[in-house]
Structure 1
Amino acid sequence: MLGGPSLKVDLHTGAIAEGVLTFVISFLVLYNILKGPRSPLMKNLMLSMSIVTMVVVGSDYTGPSMNPANAFGWAYVNNRHNT
């Protein structure tokens, strides 16, 4: 069976975790674009590091995914979407 992101905590904790992660990554992206370094290479490096950090932080709660469409796709493939 294929693996993928799955909810590892109760529904409310998972929703709160995804909301916080989405807010933080959106804030970091906007801050990096507006006040970040002028070098495109440094901007890309900072954005990549922030995304990897948020995925690692959120992996204990909802698996390695911060994209609802990706998570639903894996749930559909594994037949766990009927909750």
Structure 2
Amino acid sequence: MANTTSAKKATRKIARRTAVNKARRSRVRGFIRKVEEAIASGDAALAKDALQAAQPELQRAASKGVVHANTASRKISRLASRVKALAV
């Protein structure tokens, strides 16, 4: 358990940051799920719209440090290629 005042404050800050990051990560997962569901349904237009909504969310999560930048880029790339394949 934290004893000093600064350590107690640090634990409060960490708890707040963890809650924010958890919410951001959950939000990103939701956007990715919508894209994958649209791909599974076979609706190219819906999948494209869902991808355009998910892309900035993933980039924002990367810029905030919730996910690694390369991870966000990889997920966007793989989703985009799947959506593109669906359109053909």
Q: What band does the TM-score fall into relative to the shorter chain?
A: 0.3 to 0.5
Q: Greater CA radius of gyration, 1 or 2?
A: 2
Point out which structure has higher relative CO (alpha carbons under 8 A, 6+ apart): 1
Q: Answer 1 or 2: which has greater helix percent.
A: 2
